[in-house]
């Protein structure tokens, strides 16, 4: 029942629930025919599970740079990263802000590539009036408790309009079964607990109102901070962010964060280092030379507090602290 409700929320024909967002990416890639030795184009300023999903499928991540103004995949960088081994583009709607999908879908059509969207931070975000997730071949969501729609534990889902992908993810999440005790392909165990599905079904009707409160707080921040020495990333035309996080870029980040903390406002950094700079992904370190905007952004991004339950007073306190800190 939750699967049907979430598919219809996203405007997709199918939704297949799995155990986590990482599994959603892994299984969606496999179900799209991506595997060992294939290359998947993505970004380096993301949460590590984006890349864990890719490597679990056997494929290799190829990182492209981001736009400075959106902090999302720069469509203009994608074409030169395509090789004969490229099988898919995996845009990440980071911080809840939709990637410019029209350019990416056009390239995918031109080069016959799959498009798998990482929607783990973007439940309900829209691009060109349509919800993310059903824009490419498959969209992958996480229901980790901190996400815009969170369970009381781990969970994830793949949404798609492609019947074959839906069928394969359904098989892959359940040991490759087509019917009980008949295993057509080798699969995995990646179920969403019934209990989590029940929580999610009960919470889904509130998602839009939570997202609009997030947008409301974000626009208060944007207006109140516009004269300060910081930069707020923006939606490109057609994009409607759901502000999973509210990001600003500041040049002297450590000093800014200390000053915010002195005033009782805790800030966070999502994410301090690009994936190829992590020890686990040292094999991809040479790709950093293609990622100057990513490197700059990772040194400047700060997340200000933003959650739907924030009171107007709390929002004002954050704004006052920013003014004082800068
Ligand atoms: C949370 C997240 C994931 C993975 O989700 P899990 O449910 O924790 O496996 C993937 N990509 C991004 C961008 C995320 O923020």
- 16-66 residue pLDDT tens: 999 999 999 999 999 999 999 999 999 999 999 999 999 999 999 999 999
| pLDDT recorded at residue 149 | 98
Distance from C-alpha of 91 to C-alpha of 204, rounded to nearest angstrom: 24
> Which of 142, 155, 158 for a ligand 1 pocket mutation test, highest count of atoms within 8 Å of Cβ?
142
Give the whole-number percent of the chain exceeding pLDDT 90: 99
Using the mean position of ligand 1's atoms as its centre, give its distance from the Cα of residue 49 in Å: 5
Burial of 114: CB neighbours in 10 Å, binned 0-12, 13-18, 19+: buried
For the CA of 156, the nearest atom of ligand 1: 7
| pLDDT recorded at residue 259 | 98
- Token digits of residue 244: 């999973």
Whole-structure pTM value: 0.98
**117 touches ligand 1 (CB under 6 Å):** no
Give 68-120 pLDDT, tens digit per residue: 999 999 999 999 999 999 999 999 999 999 999 999 999 999 999 999 999 99
For 227-246, what is the mean pLDDT? 96
* String of DSSP letters for 15-79: EEEES-HHHHHHHHHHHTT--TT-EEEEESSS-THHHHHHHHTT-EEEEE-B-TTT-SB-HHHHG
- Token digits of residue 91: 């845009």
- Token digits of residue 250: 């500041």
For 278-300, what is the mean pLDDT? 97
For 194-210, what is the mean pLDDT? 98
For 184-197, what is the mean pLDDT? 96
Q: Which band of pLDDT confidence, cut at 50, 70 and 90, is reported for residue 196?
A: very high
**148 touches ligand 1 (CB under 6 Å):** no
Alpha carbon nearest to ligand 1 atom 14, residue: 120
| pLDDT recorded at residue 9 | 98
Using the mean position of ligand 1's atoms as its centre, give its distance from the Cα of residue 288 in Å: 22
**144 touches ligand 1 (CB under 6 Å):** yes
| pLDDT recorded at residue 316 | 98
Scanning the structure block, which residue is given the tokens 């990001």? 247
Give 255-276 pLDDT, tens digit per residue: 999 999 999 999 999 999 999 9
Give 134-183 pLDDT, tens digit per residue: 999 999 999 999 999 999 999 999 999 999 999 999 999 999 999 989 99
| pLDDT recorded at residue 46 | 97
| Whole-number average pLDDT of the chain | 97
For the CA of 46, the nearest atom of ligand 1: 13
For the CA of 20, the nearest atom of ligand 1: 7
**120 touches ligand 1 (CB under 6 Å):** yes
């Amino acid at each position: 029942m939750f699967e049907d409700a979430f598919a219809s929320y996203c405007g997709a024909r199918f939704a297949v629930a799995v155990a986590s967002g990482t599994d959603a990416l892994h299984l969606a890639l496999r179900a799209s025919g991506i595997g060992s030795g294939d290359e998947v184009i993505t970004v380096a300023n993301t949460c590590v599970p984006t890349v864990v999903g890719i490597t679990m499928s056997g494929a290799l991540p190829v990182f492209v740079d981001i736009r400075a103004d959106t902090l999302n995949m720069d469509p203009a960088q994608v074409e030169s990263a395509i090789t004969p081994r490229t099988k898919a583009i995996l845009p990440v709607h980071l911080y809840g802000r939709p990637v410019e999908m029209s350019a990416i879908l056009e390239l995918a059509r031109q080069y016959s590539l799959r498009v798998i969207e990482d929607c783990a931070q973007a439940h309900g975000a829209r691009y060109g009036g349509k919800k993310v997730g059903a824009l490419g071949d498959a969209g992958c969501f996480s229901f980790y408790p901190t996400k815009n729609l969170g369970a009381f534990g781990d969970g994830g889902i793949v949404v798609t309009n492609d019947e074959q992908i839906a069928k394969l993810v359904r098989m892959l999440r359940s040991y490759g079964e087509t019917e009980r005790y008949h295993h057509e392909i080798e699969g995995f165990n990646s179920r969403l607990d019934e209990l989590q599905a029940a929580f999610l079904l009960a919470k889904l009707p509130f998602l839009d109102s939570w997202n609009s409160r997030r947008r409301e707080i974000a626009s208060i921040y944007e207006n109140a901070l516009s004269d300060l020495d910081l930069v707020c990333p923006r939606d490109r035309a057609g994009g409607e962010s759901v502000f999973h996080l509210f990001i600003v870029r500041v040049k002297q980040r450590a000093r800014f964060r200390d000053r915010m903390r002195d005033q009782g406002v805790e800030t966070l950094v999502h994410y301090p280092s690009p994936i190829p700079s992590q020890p686990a992904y040292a094999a991809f370190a040479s790709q950093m030379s293609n990622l100057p905007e990513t490197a700059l952004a990772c040194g400047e991004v700060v997340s200000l507090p933003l959650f739907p339950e924030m009171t107007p007073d709390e929002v004002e306190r954050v704004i006052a602290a920013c003014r004082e800190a800068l």
